[in-house]
A and B are shown apart, each in its own frame.
Chain A
Amino acid sequence: MSSNKKEFPRALEDEAIYILREAAAQFERPAILFSGGKDSITLVRLAQKAFYPGKIPFPLLHVDTAHNFPETIEFRDWLVAKTGVDLVVGYVQDDIDAKRVAEEKGKFASRNTLQTVTLLRMIEEQKFDACIGGARRDEEKARAKERIFSVRDEFGQWDAKNQRPELFEFLNGRIKPGENVRVFPISNWTELDVWNYIKEEELDIPSIYFTHERDVIIRDGVLWPISDFIYRDADEEIIKKKVRFRTVGDMSCTAALASEADTLETIIDEIISATLSERGTRLDDKRAEAAMEIRKVSGYF
């Protein structure tokens, strides 16, 4: 494989910084949606760069499902301490306790879809007028049509057929009270771009991205990490395997990847030769061909 695929295209960084500065200039109270994953870690770095020597002018917003990898929360708290950025946490459990949402049941139960309600509640409580997310257009085909400034109505809904045209560098973030904008600075990055960036910038990432031994079950050819949050049939056997994670979502819907990759270099090699797409390890997208679009319409990132 050519070494050129391992070079980060710097034009993408200039573009992302431009977008972050537009968000800071056009909105009164933006927040960075922070999951602890590599995309949101990248966003934090870009925000540091965009506003240096000033401090990042917005807080991180974490929607906590309580089904996190412990490593992610540990990492989040470490990053917050290191960068001095403010952190706001919205708990899905609060919405469950208040009976605003009901827990899913059954084998494929996940709190992933419940996050939307907590996110919208936090937006309202905290009066966020913009949420900056690390979604990328290459992740999934509904996202391929997403704008960089994506206007959501009062209910957080995405109207795919009625999006504001985005021409040249112009980002029009004007909204009415109650409306909200999702901002996607790394829209044009691919998974490989993110990894190359992390490597060139020497960014720290949670340990679960690297290979480690873990108890898993194999279901439909997919490796599921054993945790308190995953339902297991009696005949599903627990085995130990060397795995790593390619995305860090909710423990209940993020599958592991059999891998020996223990450095950024070897992760990048793995991705260049990968035969499985990133969202292929996300159970939530496999539910239906149009899964992502349906969730976006209802206010998911």
Chain B
Amino acid sequence: MEVLRIATAGSVDDGKSTLIGRLLYETNSITTDRLEAIHKASQRKGIDFVDLSLLTDGLIAEREQGITIDVAHIYFQTPKRKFIIADSPGHVEYTRNMITGASHAEVSVILVDARLGILDQTHRHYYIAHLLRIPNVIVCVNKMDLIGYEEEKFRAIEKQFTEFANQIKAADQRIQFIPISSLYGENITKRSEKINWYKGHALLEVLESLDASPKESTAKSRFPVQYIIRPRTEEFHDFRGYAGRVASGRFVEGDSVTILPSMRTSTIDKIYQYNQVIAQADTRQSVVITLKDDVDVSRGDMIVKTGEEPEQKKELDADICWLNNEPMKGTKTYLMQTGTSLTKAKIASVEYVKIPSTLEQLPATALKMNEIARVKIKTAKGIASDAYKENPSNGSFILIDEYSNNTVAVGFLN
């Protein structure tokens, strides 16, 4: 069974919580005691119907303020797939949460209120889907009931969105539009009869049939070493295995491989998945690799197929989003993590800050929380990375503040 990860974005009151509640409700994912609890909570709030949005707002502060602050994870399953929704808040001050939620997603669902049309926030939501190169974007035009299910308004929104997206859209990203009403369940799990001019599929049908294979599976082979396994038992006396998860590509028994950064070469002896020896390991599989030669390999090293070695660079171009309260300081040294490898790094210069809603580029020297910028980075050690657009898994990184230990930025290498 496949897992599809979805990120949802929308402005407050666009109906995101209602939409998710509706998906859970119509796929029988809500148990009666939860429904009952929500029923009670709805009554306490003086609402005469079951407010499905109460299913998702988890934290006390959120319930008090009636808004979503953090990323919440929601699970449901149909006979076709298992779905994981990362639901994050839509305000500008939560850009970092949106990026966090979207960083695991294969699909971005963007909500637009049919009455209000495209807002600044919609641009920002799309910009994030673009920055993260999420392969599929579904724009749900919600509250169609409030505009009489009228096609013209829907088409106008579709056109306006497309015009904005076309300025930056990557060729391999797919954008689809669906007119919906979350409150009445139109086009959510089955095709709406009220919106008969729409010839496409309902949201759930689209989610069930999207191509979910990661871009990494066709990228060059990368295996960041996580942990060294040395049992030193009688049976496995000289066993030395490299445990990790295939970041991209595929490794096959007998492959010639190069270890980075040392550039030593060897051959794959065996690939273990628990106590089974398997012939090949595909993208995202957690395995243990043994090599024919006794080369020195430790955590942070990367095993790649010989002939597919990435260049090791100490000067990098990247887009970053600043995630921390404390602004970026150009003079400060951060820890940069790519794969399982850590190195000291400095932001040598900020080329510009990008305003997602207008795509403007403004000059800047410092960065505040939630800002997205193009920067140049200098590192102490050479980084064996790929361009994010070709290999997200080996083209993304985080910056860690050595003193607070916080993750302060996320980046995408060019």
A residues in contact (CB < 8 Å) with B: 2, 4-5, 7-9, 11-15, 17-18, 21-22, 24-25, 48-55, 137-138, 141-142, 144-145, 160-161, 163-170, 172, 174-176, 187-188, 190, 192-193, 274-277, 280, 289-290, 293
Q: List 13 A-B contacts (CB under 8 A).
A: A11-B284, A21-B243, A52-B272, A52-B274, A54-B230, A141-B72, A172-B400, A174-B400, A190-B77, A275-B31, A289-B37, A289-B41, A290-B63
Cα–Cα, bound, A249→B227 (Å): 33
**B288→A5 contact, CB < 8 A:** no
Query: CB distance A188 to B73 under 8 Å?
Result: yes
For residue B348, CB closer than 8 A to chain A, the reply is: no
Complex partner residue of B410 from A144, A167, A193, CB under 8 angstroms: A167
Give residues 215-257 of B contacting A (CB, 8 Å): 226-227, 229-231, 233, 235-236, 239, 241, 243-245
B residues sitting closer than 8 Å to A (CB atoms) are: 1-3, 31-34, 37, 41, 56-61, 63, 69-75, 77, 79-80, 82, 84, 96-97, 99-100, 103-104, 226-227, 229-231, 233, 235-236, 239, 241, 243-245, 272, 274-275, 284-286, 288, 299, 323, 337, 340, 392-393, 396, 398, 400, 405-407, 410
Cross-interface CB contact of A167 among B2, B103, B241, cutoff 8 Å: B103
A52–B286 Cα distance when bound, in Å, is 12
In the complex, the answer to whether A170 meets B227 with C-beta atoms within 8 Å is no
Would you give the shortest CB distance from A112 to chain B, in whole angstroms?
Answer: 19
A168 B71 Cβ-Cβ under 8 A: no
The answer on a CB contact under 8 Å between B96 and A165 is: yes
Contact A9 B82 (CB under 8 A): yes
Contact B286 A17 (CB under 8 A): yes
Q: In the bound complex, how far is the Cα of B73 from the Cα of A176, in angstroms? A: 28
Given contacts A14-B285, A164-B406, 20 further A-B contacts (CB under 8 A): A9-B82, A52-B272, A53-B231, A53-B241, A141-B57, A141-B72, A145-B70, A145-B72, A160-B61, A163-B70, A164-B407, A165-B97, A167-B396, A168-B103, A168-B392, A169-B245, A174-B405, A192-B77, A280-B33, A290-B60
**Cross-chain contact A48 with B274 (CB below 8 angstroms):** yes
A175 touches B405 (CB 8 A): yes
Q: Are B1's CB and A8's CB within 8 A?
A: yes
Pick from B1, B75, B229: contact of A188, CB under 8 Å: B75
Do B72 and A144 touch (CB < 8 A)?
A: yes
Q: Is the CB–CB distance between A49 and B75 below 8 Å?
A: no
- The CA-CA distance from A55 to B61 in the complex, in Å, is 43
Cβ distance B239 to chain A, nearest Cβ, rounded Å: 6
Q: Which residues of A contact B96 (CB under 8 A)?
A: 165
In the complex, the chain B residue whose C-beta lies closest to that of A176 is B405
Chain A residue nearest to B402 (CB atoms) is A174
**Distance of B165 from chain A, by nearest CB (Å):** 23
Contact A49 B58 (CB under 8 A): no
**Separation in Å of the A219 CB from the closest CB of chain B?**
16
With A and B bound together, what is the CA distance between A196 and B101 in angstroms?
27
Asked if B33 and A277 make an inter-chain contact with CB atoms under 8 angstroms apart, the answer reads yes
Given the known A-B contacts A165-B410, A167-B398, are A52 and B288 also in contact in the complex, defined by CB atoms under 8 Å?
yes
Distance to closest chain B CB from A50 (angstroms) = 7
Other-chain residue from B3, B77, B337, B406 in contact with A170 (beta carbon distance below 8 A)? B337
Question: A7–B31 Cα gap in the complex (Å)?
Answer: 21
A175 to B404, CA, bound (A): 8
Question: Which single residue of chain A is at the shortest CB-CB distance from B77?
Answer: A5
Contact status A4-B407, CB under 8 Å: no
A25 near B299 with CB under 8 A, answer: yes
Given A21-B226, A192-B77, A14-B286 contact (CB < 8 Å): yes
Q: Is the CB of B60 within 8 A of A12?
A: no
Q: Contacts of B410 on A, CB cut-off 8 Å?
A: 165, 167-168
Chain B residues near A54: list those with CB within 8 A. 229-231, 236
